[in-house]
Amino acid sequence: MRVVIAGGHGKIALLLERLLAERGDQAVGLIRNPGHVTDVRKASAEAVICDLEAASAGDVRVLLSGADAVVFAAGAGPGSGAARKDSVDRAASVLMAGAAEQAGVRRFLQVSSMGAGQPPRPGTDEVWAAYITAKTAAEADLRARDLDWTILRPGGLTDAPATGMVRLAPPPVPAGTVPRADVAAVIAALLDEPGTWHQTLELTGGDTPVAAAVHSIS
Ligand SMILES: NC(=O)c1ccc[n+]([C@@H]2O[C@H](COP(=O)([O-])OP(=O)(O)OC[C@H]3O[C@@H](n4cnc5c(N)ncnc54)[C@H](OP(=O)(O)O)[C@@H]3O)[C@@H](O)[C@H]2O)c1
C-alpha cells in the first residue's frame, strides 16, 4: 500500500512512517521544509516537498498519482495563531481531500481532534476556538465527499512510549490523553479496514489492544 502523509515530518507522521515500512507498506511524507528530508528518510519514507498552504489541488493531485491512501496528519501546531489554524487544519485538509478525489485515491484518513464537531464553548481562548472551528469544518468537508474516509479524533497527545492499549469508539469518548505512538498504530490498523469507512472515531488511552479495538468498531 502506498500511503501519502500530509505533514510528513509531524510527530505522529514519523511514527506512522516507521510502522508502515515495518509491515511492508510504502510511506510518502509531504513536507514543506527541505531540512526535514533526512528525518523522513530515516523513518524509511519517501520525502516530497509540498507546502500545503501554497500548493494547488492540481499540484497535489500529481503527487497522489499511484497512491492507495492519504493520511492528513498536518497541523499548524502549538505557537501558531488563528489564521494558520484555518490555513492548515482546515484548508490544507480540504486541499488534500479535493486532490484525492481528483486523483481517484479513495481511502482518506483525517487526524482531527477531540472537541471537534461542536462549536467552541463561549469564552474559550481565541486560538483554541479557531482550532476547533477549523477541525470541525475540515471534518464536514470530508464527510461531504465521495471518498472512503475515516475521521480520527485523538485526545491530548503525549510523547510517552506506545502502550498498545486504547479506547476507540464513536463519540462521545470521555476526555483523556493518548501517546502519539498509539495514535500511529491505530492509524496503521484503520487504513486497511473497510469496516471503518464513513466513521468518526474518538481515541484515548484505554485497556483494549489496538487490533481488537479496530476490529470491534469495523
Ligand atoms: N496536540 C494535541 O494534543 C492534539 C490532540 C488531538 C489532535 N491533534 C492533531 O494531531 C495532528 C498531528 O499531531 P502531531 O503532534 O503529530 O503534529 P506536529 O508534530 O505538530 O506535526 C504537524 C506537521 O504539519 C506540518 N505542516 C504545518 N504546516 C504545513 C504546510 N503548510 N505544509 C506542509 N506541512 C505543514 C508541520 O511541518 P513544519 O514542521 O514544517 O511546521 C508538522 O510537521 C495535528 O493535526 C493536530 O492538530 C493534536
Q: Which residues have C-beta atoms less than 6 Å from ligand 1?
A: 7, 9-13, 30, 32-33, 51-53, 73-77, 88-89, 111, 113, 154, 156-157, 180
| pLDDT of res. 66 | 97
Give residue 16 CA to ligand 1 midpoint distance, Å.
Answer: 13
| pLDDT of res. 183 | 99
Helices 11-22 and 180-191 pack at an angle, to 10 degrees, of 50
**Range 72-100 average pLDDT:** 98
User: Phi, psi (5° rounding) for residue 191?
Assistant: -55, -45
Strand-pair category, 165-169 with 114-117: unpaired
At 11-40, the pLDDT tens digits run: 999 999 999 999 999 999 999 999 999 999
- Report helix, strand or coil for 102: helix
Which cell goes with 91?
484548508
Is residue 121 predicted with pLDDT exceeding 90? no
Identify which of 37, 60, 80, 88 to mutate to test ligand 1's pocket (most ligand atoms within 8 A of the CB).
88
**Range 47-76 average pLDDT:** 98
Q: What is the pTM of this model?
A: 0.98
Element (H, E) at 74: none
pLDDT band, residue 114 (cuts 50/70/90): very high
Residue 174: DSSP 8-state: P
Identify which of 12, 17, 36, 127 to mutate to test ligand 1's pocket (most ligand atoms within 8 A of the CB).
12
CA–CA separation, 183 vs 61, rounded Å? Answer: 26
Give residue 13 CA to ligand 1 midpoint distance, Å.
Answer: 9
In the chain, what are the helix, strand and coil shares in percent, each to the nearest 5?
40, 25, 35
At 182-214, the pLDDT tens digits run: 999 999 999 999 999 999 999 999 999 999 999
Who contacts 50 (Cβ-Cβ below 8 Å, separation ≥6)?
Answer: 30, 31, 32, 59, 60, 63
